[in-house]
């Protein structure tokens, strides 16, 4: 059975339950940058990445883990929008596993990926967890382009980062994400070219933002 057919079957089996659980746990959280639409985009990014992969280890079990990780990786932001949201996301995913009578041992890679996906220093050994590696890249891709511009501004403001340094902080974080993507896509030139252009859109925007802030400060 080909990859697309397996993905479709896993979506048919789990997508409604995952989205329903996310909506329930997200509740009235006012953070559009990380709502259900973000998780849908990340899952779309994962499917795009898989179309550029020739990894024999990407089987049905891994796809099932990737689907869960895509839809629950930021669910912890309903409780905390800082660095510990991955921990809270893992706890919510464990609740989902229990409620749906799934076997935890079948989803250890997804749980690990949800907990550590926001480590943008990339100093965890994600090579031992391909689900974490792919999720991290797919999440990074949603931070590029015009979507990334407003997503970054919303979450960084929510974290209380001052306006005068927010552009520099965003560029620093985005550069780290881009280097991770560049290394990941070294053998995927079409994927790299598409999203390099989206990264450059973000980079130009916040370069101009920083210049405007500097000029305002000189007045």
pLDDT in tens, 106-163: 999 999 999 999 876 666 555 589 999 999 999 999 999 999 999 999 999 988 999 9
Same domain, 13 and 112: yes
Residue range(s) defining the domain that contains residue 20:
1-44+53-119
Query: Looking at the domain assignment, is residue 4 inside a domain?
Result: yes
Alpha-carbon separation of residue 199 from 38, 47, 115 (angstroms): 17, 19, 25
Burial profile 145-179: b = 16 or more Cβ within 10 angstroms, e = fewer: bebbbebbbbbbeeeebeeeebbeebbeebeebbe
Same domain, 6 and 109: yes
Query: Looking at the domain assignment, is residue 111 inside a domain?
Result: yes
Q: What are phi and psi of 125, to 5 degrees?
A: -80, 75
Same domain, 164 and 59: no
Looking at the structure of the chain, the number of domains it has is 2
pLDDT in tens, 98-111: 999 999 999 999 99
Query: pTM for the complete prediction?
Result: 0.92
Same domain, 99 and 172: no
Same domain, 9 and 98: yes
CA distance 87 to 92: 9
pLDDT in tens, 64-93: 999 999 999 999 999 988 778 999 999 999
């Amino acid at each position: 059975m080909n990859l697309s057919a397996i993905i479709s079957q896993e979506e048919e089996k789990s997508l409604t339950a995952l989205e329903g659980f996310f909506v329930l746990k997200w509740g009235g959280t006012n953070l559009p940058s990380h709502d259900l639409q973000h998780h849908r985009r990340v899952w779309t990014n994962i499917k795009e990445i898989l179309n550029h992969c020739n990894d024999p280890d990407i089987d049905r079990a891994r796809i099932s883990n990737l689907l869960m990780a895509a839809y629950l990786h930021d669910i912890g932001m309903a409780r905390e929008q800082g660095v510990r949201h991955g921990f809270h996301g893992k706890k919510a995913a464990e609740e989902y596993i229990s409620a749906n009578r799934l076997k935890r041992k079948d989803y250890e890679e997804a749980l690990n990926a949800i907990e550590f996906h926001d480590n943008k220093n990339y100093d965890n050994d994600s090579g031992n967890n391909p689900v974490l590696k792919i999720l991290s890249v797919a999440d990074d891709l949603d931070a590029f382009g015009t979507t990334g511009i407003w997503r970054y501004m919303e979450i960084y403001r929510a974290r209380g980062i001052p306006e005068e340094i927010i552009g520099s902080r965003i560029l620093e974080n985005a550069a780290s994400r881009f280097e991770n993507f560049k290394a990941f896509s070294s053998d995927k030139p079409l994927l790299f070219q598409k999203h390099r252009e989206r990264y450059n859109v973000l980079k130009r925007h916040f370069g101009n933002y920083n210049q405007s802030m500097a000029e305002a400060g000189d007045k």
